[in-house]
Structure 1
Amino acid sequence: MRFRSLVSKYGLPLLPHSFVFGHLLIAAKVVMKGPKDIAAALVPYLISLEHPETNKYGYFYLDMWPVSEQMIVVHHPDMMVQFCQDTSFAKHTQMPFEFGPLSHGVDLVTSNGHHWKTWRSIFNPGFSSKNIQSYVPAMLEEYNIFKTKLESFATSGETVKMDSYAMALTVDIIGHAVLGARLHAQTTGCEIFDALKRQIALLLVDYSPEGLAKLLNPVRPFRIWKNNRTMRKGVLPYILEGIRNHDRKEGSKTMHSLAVKSYKDEHSAAEGEIDVRWIDVAVDQFKMMLFAGHDTVSSTFCFVTALLHFHPGKLAIVRAEIDEVLGSDSTSAQAAIARTPELLNRLTYLTAVIKETLRLFGPVSGSVRQAAEGQRLYHHETGEELPLWDLMLFSHQAQLHRDEKFWPQPHEFIPERFTAKEGDPLYPHKNTFRPFEMGSRNCIGQEFAMTELRLVLSLALLDLDFEPVYPEDGPKYFGSVLYQTSPPEEITMHPRDGMPMNVSLRKRA
């Protein structure tokens, strides 16, 4: 009834609403119109396209109960600022529910309050520019394994699902930053990563038929316990070794070394056994970092290489820039990066390509928050206060990133948006580009991810060509064969069908 009161009591706009089904029928209708496997997180955006009247308000109320939370979908940047930047509302309880089987609600992504602030301050030094650059040798080492695999695919002519190989690369790289160790996911395999992927497949995003099937599976609790046990067993030795040898540790500030330092500082005078509760929290933090640290980069790598294949003129600009900044052959380029990691920051057009790809295909569709008592949300133009009740606030980046009010030709791949000068029609509006979210709860690892993407893409594009393999008469999203799906074994959006690709050695003129 409260949704109906939006019109009768508050005079606010409301999509056609069913007493029984809420907005589920509207959602089903828009999904049937587009690719059947489109990512569920994009459904609010598809609804807004079907009901363009929602766009003029900057928000709309959406009732998807009992499949998911009732929410306010916010897609205007001036309203997002209110609960993500000016005041950072708490993460919604949906987050610890969703990720609870993996990290028990104590990690940087899902936790709130003093606990979150404490751990964020512990890990912040690990993501300084200087510390990120210290990981460049490890990134190069892991990239060369990836390159060898890609070259073998080029020789064999095998079509491969690039997303899975990119994930193995990126988890090996983030393993250095989190645990200070090689995980070998690309070679011999990694029990920690394998258990992590199995656990992700057991997480619940909603109460859709697929979600209910997971929830009601009688062996799910045992599998969750077993996966957590495997991950804890794999991570624990690094923690214990770090505590024993903390005073002798030198080099990069890894996440586990920073956590150990905090623990040692707090327990410097204490004797006896290590606090098991602290170990449990640290393990959960590291599990979430391994998840978040590999997922965004792998998906973005796939979409960048695919988009550049379809835009050869822009690929030529990227390669000319790489030749100028790093050199025209892989050996000299890797030597230049190892010697001067700051060179990666001079790849301004490649950076623009990465940002434009994240605008179109960010792996996360938005941030979910909830208002505490006394917190308010106001319409950006009228100043009218919106009733929040206990609704989820959904900062819908995916919709904002394709809003023609802020992005001319929003469905086109135009990296020049991010090299444009202020005053240019392409220049991004303030607060409109937010793939890593903005404000105090932004992604702690965004600069690490951007450095990793610059390095891996610059070297891969120097030597190799990538061709996505999709049937031209297959489903399309805004005229493109490229779009995101929600694979049952994943919890974020991923390239359709794992991004099947043919890889070939670059043919130079």
Structure 2
Amino acid sequence: MKWLVDNCNQWIPDLKRPPPVLYLDIWPVFPDVMMMVFDGSMSAQFTQARSLPKHHITRTFLEPLTDNLDMTSADGSQSKVWRSRFNPSFSPRNITMLIPELIDEIMVFKDLLGKMAGPSGQWGDVFQLEERTTSLTFDVILRATMDERLHEQINAQGSPLKQALISQIRLMSKVLGVNRILGIKRWPWEAWTRQRNNEALRKALLGRVEAIIKSPHLADAVSEKKTILNIALSRTLAETGGETPDQRSVDAILANLKLFLFAGHDTTSSTICWMFKLLQDNPNCLAKLREELNSVLGEDVTQAASLLRDSPQLLNNLVYTNGVVKEALRFYPLASTVRQGERDFFLAVSGSDMRYPTEGTAIHDVPSVIQLDEHVWPRANEFLPERWIAAQGDPMHPNKDAWRPFSMGPRNCIGQELAMVEIKLVAALVCREFDIQEAWDKWDMKQGSMKPKETVDGQRLYGCGQTVQHPKDGMPVHVRRLYA
């Protein structure tokens, strides 16, 4: 989509700027006309002013993982019920209470980086950063969800839970392609793999859920620890008059837990990589980040973790760090929403009589274009965390509808607070102790000189892969310790 916008003068030469909406028909690869929206105020019309139903491709995509019992692919009452039951779990207050547990997992990540660093402040060997961040985010999301320590970061083989989820994601990613062209929803031989994966996921997650449900003191069990699961179960009990959840409710809880595992690890792990990439490319911003961390957390970097454990609210004082994370998500939004157009619903551009019909379309909110629009964002292509500190009325103050990495409106990403806190903690605990830089020369030597060296816009590191923008080749990096 961004390529189309960047090259729009080739196919509409009389346009001075990209159009706010582009209709694209790629049938039979995609079933409906794609209506791509490149204007944040127009995106707000179908996500906020009126929240249109999710497009059926969302249901098709998530069905192998959740059987469409999750809050994202569902619409109507089912979505509202489970959204209301899980919402309190992801509140800023509750996520703040989970910060000590999140720090436990991030310290494992930091210690492993230390082992990859070279001796005496030298650069270490090359490794794929995304492998490390993916294992980290698996550990974090399971800790936050169920207070279980997966220890994925120190498990070389990968847990059955992670193996099953990764395999299932590969199946989910086959929504489009040859099978779509042939009119086949899923290949028959994928049914066995799907069943095997779901059995493994259910086995890994069900035990904890059933242990709580079957507790003789169920109400006490769910209030003992404010995990995402416990709070959702507590809300379920309150709404059902204290009755033990029935099988369908248990299945819906498991479906949403699987959704959180998928969304929570896939997007956040990549965002952490892109954040380090942008800090590497903007050393002045890295220096300002370190200055703020010294000011708020003290200059003794070894005390930062214990200080944040004791006073989690200090994370709110890291305003520049917050800006770094938001700028990383502005440059690399990893997900977007697709809604189902309706006969009576039209999009409009402010100040114009033009109305864009939505009937029969899949309406795509396109943050990868909206968030780099030079007509909305001053110095749009510059990494400027300061813009997130600018006061209202300042030309640099962000437009309220133009930052959309988690979507907006009643169907926005429920886990955005957890994601933001996790990424800020990584920045706070890692960036003062280590330099992390791309190491393509070392990677090329490791892979062999015959391997193609593809670039996009002159960059070896670019987004590619399934489901979200994963960094190319897992982002090969090397690390050096700043404080020997």
Aligned with residue 107 of structure 1, among 53, 70, 76: 70
Query: Who is 1:506 aligned against?
Result: 482
CA shift in 2, pair 1:355/1:270, >3 Å: closer
- Aligned to 1:67, which of 13, 19, 29? 29
Q: Distance in 2 between matches of 1:115 and 1:319?
A: 45
Q: Which whole-Å CA distance do the structure 1 matches of 2:432 and 2:314 have between them?
A: 15
Give 1:476 deviation, angstroms.
Answer: 4.2
Return the offset for 1:186: 1.4
Structure 1 pair 346/47, CA: closer, same or farther in 2 (3 Å)? same
Which residue does the alignment assign to 2:142? 175
Count of aligned positions: 462
2:209 to 221, 239, 246: 239
- Secondary structure class of the residue paired with 2:88: helix
In the alignment, which residue of structure 2 is the partner of 1:281? 252
Report the Cα offset of residue 493 of structure 1.
1.6
Which of 329, 341, 354 is equivalent to 2:312? 341
One-letter amino acid of the counterpart of residue 355, structure 1? K
Matched, 1:464 2:434: yes
User: Deviation at 1:43?
Assistant: 4.9
SS at match of 2:338: strand
Relative to the length of structure 1, the TM-score reads 0.84
Q: Deviations over 1:266-292 (max 9, x none)?
A: 555758xx6322222211110001111
Q: Which of 374, 377, 387 is 1:407 aligned to?
A: 377
Contact 1:66–1:207 (8 Å) recurs in 2: no
Q: Aligned to 1:190, which of 141, 146, 159? A: 159
In structure 2, the CA distance between the partners of 1:485 and 1:260, relative to structure 1 (3 Å rule), is same
My pick for the range that moved more, 294-303 or 223-232, is: 294-303
Q: Aligned AA for 2:304?
A: A
1:248 to 220, 230, 252: 220
Distance 1:310 1:210 in 2: 41
- Per the alignment, residue 26 of structure 1 pairs with none
- What is the CA distance between 1:61 and its match in structure 2? 0.8
SS at match of 1:405: coil
Deviations 1:204-240 (A, max 9, x none): 3553359779977553111011101110111111111
> Would you say the 8 A contact 1:483–1:495 is kept in 2?
yes
- Give the counterpart of 2:111 among 132, 140, 148: 148
User: 1:392 deviation in Å?
Assistant: 0.5
Q: What SS does structure 1 have at the residue aligned with 2:436?
A: strand
SS in 1 for 2:374: coil
Residue 130 of structure 2 is matched in structure 1 by 163
Superposed counterparts of 1:247-266, under 5 Å: 247-249=219-221, 250-266=223-239
Q: Give 2:52's match in structure 1, choosing from 80, 89, 107.
A: 89
2:82 paired residue number = 119
Tell me, yes or no, if the aligned pair for 1:205 and 1:491 is still in contact at 8 Å: no
CA distance in 2, matches of 1:505, 1:269: 53
Contact 2:296 2:317 in 1 (8 A): yes
Task: Give 1:465 shift.
Answer: 0.9
SS in 1 for 2:356: coil
CA contact (8 A) 1:243 1:264 kept: no
The Cα offsets for residues 1-34 of structure 1, whole Å up to 9 and x where unpaired, read as: xxxxxxxxxxxxxxxxxxxxxxxxxxxxxxxxxx
Alignment correspondent of 1:29: none
2:368 equivalent to 1:398: yes
- Cross-structure match for 2:349: 379
Q: How does 1:419-430 map to 2 (within 5 A)?
A: 419-430=389-400
In the TM superposition, 1:308-457 aligns within 5 A as: 308-364=279-335, 366-457=336-427
What CA distance in whole angstroms lies between the structure 2 residues aligned with 1:197 and 1:50?
39
Amino acid at match of 1:198: S
Letter in 2 for 1:308: L
- Contact 2:279 2:285 survives alignment (8 Å): yes
What is the CA–CA distance in structure 2 between the aligned matches of 1:66 and 1:169, rounded to whole Å? 39
Q: Tell me how far apart the structure 1 counterparts of residues 226 and 399 of structure 2 sit (CA, whole Å).
A: 35
SS state at 1:377 partner: strand
Distance, in Å, in 1 between the alignment partners of 2:39 and 2:243 is 51
Q: 1:347 to 1:266 in 2, by over 3 A?
A: closer
The Cα of 1:346 is off from its aligned counterpart by 1.1
Give the secondary-structure state (helix, strand or coil) at the position aligned to 1:66: coil
C-alpha distance 210-315 of structure 1, shift in aligned 2 (>3 A): farther
Q: Deviations over 1:70-121 (max 9, x none)?
A: 2111111221111011111111101011111011222122211111111111
Task: Encode CA deviations 1:287-340: one digit per residue, 9 max, x unaligned.
Answer: 001111112221111111121112111111110111111122333111210111
Q: Which amino acid aligns with 1:99?
A: L
Q: Which moved more, 1:414-423 or 1:193-202?
A: 414-423
Output the amino acid matched with 1:89: L
**Does structure 2 conserve the Cα–Cα contact (< 8 Å) formed by 1:170 and 1:298?**
yes
Decide whether aligned partners of structure 1 residues 215 and 45 sit closer, same or farther in structure 2, where only a CA change above 3 A counts.
Answer: farther
TM-score using structure 2 length? 0.89
Residue 49 to residue 106, structure 1, CA distance change in 2 (3 Å) = farther
Q: Which moved more, 1:159-168 or 1:208-217?
A: 208-217
Inter-partner Cα distance in structure 2 for 1:377 and 1:361: 26
1:228/1:112 CA distance change after superposition, 3 Å: same
Residue of structure 2 equivalent to 1:307: 278
Identify which range, 332-341 or 248-257, moves more after superposition.
248-257
Give the aligned residue type for 1:339.
D
Deviations 1:425-462 (A, max 9, x none): 33222311111111111111111111111111111112
Q: Which amino acid is 2:29 matched to? A: V
Corresponding residue for residue 39 of structure 2: 76
5+ residue gaps, structure 2:
445-451
Name structure 1 gaps, 5 residues minimum: 1-40
Identical positions, percent:
33
Work out the CA distance in 1 between the residues paired with 2:91 and 2:141.
15
Offset at residue 479 of structure 1 (A)? 4.7
Q: What SS does the corresponding residue of 1:386 show, helix, strand or coil?
A: strand
Distance 1:367 1:424 in 2: 30
Task: Kindly state the Cα deviation for residue 360 of structure 1 after the two structures are TM-superposed.
Answer: 0.6
> Residues 242, 406 of structure 1: CA spacing in aligned structure 2 closer, same or farther, 3 A cutoff?
same
Provide closer, same or farther for how the CA distance between residues 379 and 425 of structure 1 changes in structure 2, counting only shifts above 3 A.
closer
Match of 1:485 in 2: 464
CA distance in 2, matches of 1:215, 1:448: 34
Provide the secondary structure at the position in 1 that maps to 2:346. coil
